[in-house]
Structure formats: structure tokens, C-alpha cells
Structure 1
Amino acid sequence: MLTTLSGRSVLLVIGGGIAAYKSLELIRLLKQRQAKVTAIMTKAASEFVTELSVASLTKEKVYTDLFSLTDEVEMGHIELSRSADLLVVAPASADLMAKMAHGLANDLASTTLLATDKKILLAPAMNVRMWQHPATRRNLGLLKADGVLTVGPNDGEMACGEYGPGRMAEPAEILAAIEAYFAGGALPLMGAGTGSRPLAGRKVLITAGPTHEPIDPVRYIANRSSGRQGYALAEAAVALGAETILVSGPVHLPIPPGAQMMPVETAAEMLKTVEAELPADIAIFAAAVADWRVAAASGEKLKKGAGGLPDLKLAENPDILKTVAQAKSKRPKLVVGFAAETQNVVENAKAKLAKKGCDLIVANDVSADKGVMGGERNTVHLVSATGVESWPELDKREVARRLMEDFARRIGAKA
């Protein structure tokens, strides 16, 4: 299955600092998205993670020495700097940022960063005092003026015991920024160099995937939902600082790092779990909940026999979106529904918005020829009481990023 990063080459520069251990998870996420990852480690980085660990995950040689005759013959620093599609520095220490800002090149990492003709994405990580020091602020300004991109840092507790901005963005946040870059969109609103995240202190509740409604112990009613859009929304919510609860039907996807996973199977279980997790600031109902269930599921496997076809009487499942949107207590500030349609997409979404009582409907065309269900891309229409905003076809993670930033703006920062 192709992703935004399929066939992309990322050169990861691992700087020194305790946050270097997070680079291992970043590599795993990039490889999971089918990106090629080559790594350069600074001397200080090797004090925190080993070359063997990095090489085991990248499946590539790890480069460390500017003056290695073998490395320069096989792939010199000039070739390293230009063979990748994007250079990512994570963690980017204050020392490494200072070298970049002033054009210093006395080791392989700084030389490669100076010689590149590709975009650079920094994930700064350092003590809060170092991050707030005027010298670091000047260096950051110079780097941004040179077109260097940044993600984070976040507020958090430091290894030294202090608290504040300077904590490296989480691997999922860095991944989202990398995917946004390759998708052609703006980088997520994560950190923005100040440590602020628009959903910090907020609780976001998301449903995802299909539900399975049992017929008997081995058969069930379901649909083709892969859960990808809901899981991408959970990743984006985490990246923007939210406490993220993901209530998911059965899917084959990794749990988004930082999200709290609540697995369910049926619509009734999903509603019960959602209600137990309220209150929340934002509730997003991206799950493709089965409209019907078998009224009386068999406790034994139904067998073929002379009696003919089994008589399966259906009952209507609870309407989770409507139940939460019209709740008299614990109603989230923003309730968002999804409308998966095969015809009259916008018209049906408008009708659903009025019927359910939610604040927004994200509508998409899930006709078989669109490849949305089970696919990596989506075309959505954001329907509200004030109008319709139609978006171009995008990777589902880019859709999720834009949606979460829109939702964050609608509810505002936590007082």
C-alpha cells in the first residue's frame, strides 16, 4: 500500500542529547511509511544511542566520521547531502543549531548540512534556559530566514528536572511534519518555536474503524472502513497537544503514539465507551458504525441444512453521533460527524447535519471507484450551518492535520 512517504529518501541527522533515544522511534515510523532512511550520528549522539541500534532499524550503513576514507569513497558527504529528498535533524541541539546558523563545518553532520541543496527540518531539543537564551533565539531566527523548517520544541519536564519549552517534539509529531512537507501543505501548528500547542490541556475523543455486529460466533455484519482517517485524526490531535482518546472498532493499524486506545467491537460497545469517556472538548465521530445488527445473534454457528436460509431479523443500532450531539449534559464544545456517501454527497451531509444536531459534518464520496475506504487519500467537504468548504484530494494524514487545526481554531486556546 503506497503512502505519502513511499519511495522518499530521508537523511536523519541525530544530534547529541537525551532526546536522541526518540530518533529510534522516528526511524521505525518512517520505515513503516515505506520511506528510505539513512542516518548520520554526531559524536555526542553515540553517547546516548548506538550505531548498531540505528543501523538495525534503518537497514542502512550509519555514517559518523567526516574523515573516513572508506565512507568518502562509498558515499562522500557531498553525495550524502544531496541524495536525500529531505534532511531531518532530530534532536537538534543548541550546538548543532549554532553551527548551522554560522556556517561552521567541523564534523560530518555540520558539513553535510552546509553542503546540502535540499530542505532541512529541525526538531530542537535542549534545556529550557538554553532554548530561551538570546543566542539561541538569534540562531533560530537566522535559520528560519535561510528557509530551515522547524517542528517543536514542546513544553515539558526536562531530564535535568526543569520544566518549560525545549523538549523535543514527539516522533509522531515529527512524522506528521515530514508528511505535511511531502504532501505540499504547511507544517502542522506544533510548537512553532514557542513551545505552545493549540490543543494543550484539551481532551479530544475520536471514534474510528468499522463495527462488527455478530450473526453467530464466526460471522458478523461489517463494512469496508480501514480506520485510517480516524487514526490519522488521532495522530494529529496528539501532535497539537491534546489528550487523545481513540475508540476504535477492529482494524489492522498501529496505535498512534501518544493516543489512549479503547478497542471495541459492536456499536453498542462503542456508544458505552464514548459515554464513559465524556466530558471532552471535541468529539469526532469518524467511525463507520453499522446501521443494523442481528436482533438475536446465535450462540452457535449456524449450519446449512434442510431448513433453508436462516431468518436474520435486523434491529437498528444506537445513533452514537446523535446521542452525543443532542445530550443535555456533558455535550462536547465541538461535535463533528462524518458522512460517507455514494451520491448527492453535500446534500446528504447537510441533511445529516440538521438531523443529528452536530456542529460540523465531514463528508466524502466512498463510491467503489474513489478508493477512499481502505485507501490512503480522501476528498472531503466540511459542512456547517454557515456553508460548505470543499477541499482537494489529499493524503488522509494531511486531511487530518488540516481538520484538527480547523477544530483547534474553532474552540480556541484553553483559558
Structure 2
Amino acid sequence: MLRAYNNSPVLNSGRAGVRALDEKVPQARSGLRPRANASLYLGKQENRAIARQIDEEIANPALTRVQTKSIQTGGSMPRSATLTVEQPVFDGFKTQNATRMAETNVFAGRERLRLTEQRVLFNAASAYMNVLRDTAALKLQENNVAVLAEQLRQTRERYNYGQITLTDIAQAEARLAAGQSLVGQARAALEASVGFYRQTIGVEPKKLAPGAAVDRLIPKTREEVERIALGEHPVILAALHDADSADLDIKVIEGDFMPKFSIVGNVFTQTDTSGVYNRNIGASIGGRLNVPIYEGGITYSQVREAKETAGQRRLDVDVARADVIALVRANWGALQAAKTQIAAAQAQIAAAERALYGVREEAKAGLRTTLDILNAQQELLNARISLVFAQRERVVASYAVLAAMGRLSTETLSLDAWQYDPAVHFEQVKDSWVGTATPDAGR
């Protein structure tokens, strides 16, 4: 389980998703932070000015006109630089509500990450027990084949002594062939379980110790399990955070109805923009007020949409509670059934062992047939396999109940493991103003 917790790509992907959600908080907080922009202009300008002048000769009766023309050419390199700084002062509480909504989404993401952790740990426990179950089942089937082979040998000996017929030999041969087929099926099932183990935990199973149930962590009554699940299951808590986030989204959109005010400052320099050898340097500061009046009805529609979404999210909480209660009852029932199956299988094994011994003794006296012996052996095998499967269900069901409570974690299981804390990355980035490098966050 520790290997799965540390190496699961599904879990690592979920952690990365929560870290991405963390970045929504500084993005929301940026709404009231200053903004600075710089603009530069550099160009080439050529000028050609033409002037015309007409002179009149007064002494000449014909008023002779004399026209003169002058041409002036020149060039310049106009350039300018402007620095603009804007500090938002009031945005209709949009930034505050957006920040709270982003933080709520982070909390919901952490609960979903906790759900992913539970699934990974449960899959690890299930994969472990599957390998144990199928290994034991394969050994039982192989042992059964050995017993059937010996039974076939004894049947042939009895036939040679004239005690039985060829029919008995055929029955023993048929049962041996069926047993060999079941060995092949059991081996295939074990290979599949080993593959799932490798996929879930990341290593090949070697020497596995017997699995143990976690009943010590489970309350004695189903009602207590349900009470804990309603208060701690990550599906319910994530749904509650989603509902809070949807309510805050309404306030964020309603902020577009309110005026927005900011302070804007400019520093600029301009050279050769209106002639050669001229320069203008200045600065300005002022307030900018934006009052929304009507935007085509889009904001009103967005508010109505957000309210419907918020109503849906509140209903999702009820759905989550109902799903969790159903899950608790199903897993609790499976756990109780597994306990009953173990007791019944143990009693069945004891009875089947006595029956097989009695059938064999009676067969020696000619009171039982070979088929009776084979049937008794099959019943004992079935009882032993039923016990193996029930023991697996017993352990896995206990982990399923713990997960349905919302408490399947490395901390609850007292595993000596490194704990991933999503709050570390959140604290590192929530107040970030600059920088593109992602922090380590204990990964």
C-alpha cells in the first residue's frame, strides 16, 4: 500500500491537478493589484515643404505678377516612451468574492484528491488479496489433481483385482481431466491478478504475508458508520464545497453591475513628433470611474444561469449523501456476509472431511462406489475454495467499509509513510506576484 501511495501515476496526476487549482487563488487576487505597461515608438520621418509667393509691379499698368517658389526638405526620427500604471481601488467586490471562490474550489479539489487516495489504497489492498486468493486456489486445484491422479491409480488397481468395472475407471479419468482444466483456469486467474498487482503497486508480487482485516478501525454498528460517513466522506465534502463555490460565483457576476474605480498614472517623453529638435516630457495622474449602465442583458442572463447552477450544486449534495449511505450499507452487508461465509465454510470443510473419510472407508467394504468418493472429494475442494474466497472478501470488505466512512488513509492505517500535504504548495503560491517556476511543494 505504501508503494502504491508513493508511486501511483493516478495519484500523482491528482496531486498535479490540485496544484493547478492552487494557482487560481493568486489569479483571482490579481484583480486589485497594480498593472504597469510600457510602450515605445521609434520611426523615420521625411519632410518636404513648398512655399509659393506672388509679387506685383505697381508701376506697370498691366500689374505684372512675379511668382517665386521655395522648397525646404528635412528629416527627423520621432520617438516616444510611455509608462502607464493603474491601481484598481474598487471593483464591486469582484476580486474578494473571486478569491473566496477560488479557495473553495481548492478545498473541493483536496477532497477529490483524498477520494483518489482512498481508491488507490483500496485497489492496492484488493490487488494484494487477489494474489493471495488466487495463489491459494491454484494450490488447492493442483493438490486436487494430485489426489485425483492417486485415486485413478487406486481405481485401476481395484479393477485389476476385479472389484470394480471399467466405468469406475472412466469416471476417475473424467474427473482428473476436469481437475486439470480447473488448474489451467486457476493459473490464468492468478496471472491476471498478478498483472493487476503490478499495475496497481508497481512491482511484482513475491512473498506475500497473509492479509488482515481492519475491523479495529470500524465502529460496531452500521448506524455509527453512516454517521461518520455523512460527516467525513470526501464525496460529500467536495459537493458541499462545490455548492459554496456556486453561491460565490453569483456574487462574482453581480459585481459587474457595480461601478469600478482605479487610479491611473502616466509618465511620458516625446521627441521630434511635431517637428525637428522638439521634445515634450510630462506626467499625469487621475482617477478612472467606470459605471455600467446596460450591456445587452448578458450580465443578467449570467446571474440567472449562476443561480440555477447553485441550485443544482445544492441538489448534488443530497445525491452525494444518498450515494454514500447506499455505499456504506452495501459494503457493511458484504462484510457481514463474508464473516458468515467464513464460519459456514469452516463448518462445511469439517463436515466434508468427515464425509470423505467415511465414504472411503465404506468403499473399502464395498458399500460406496468410485463416483461417491469423487463427489466427496469435489465437495471438500469446493468448501476449501469457498473458504479462501470468503477470507479474501472478509479482508477487502473491511477496507471497503473504512473507505465508505471516508477514513481509508495512510494516517488512519498508521503506515510509516511520507505524507503528501497539498497545503504546502498552496501556501507557496497563494501570495505570489511574479515568477514562472513551479515550487517543489514536497513532491
TM-score (ref. length: structure 2): 0.18
Q: With the length of structure 1 as denominator, give the TM-score of the two structures.
A: 0.19
Q: More strand by proportion, 1 or 2? A: 1
Greater RCO structure (CA 8 Å; 6+ sep):
2
Larger Rg: 2
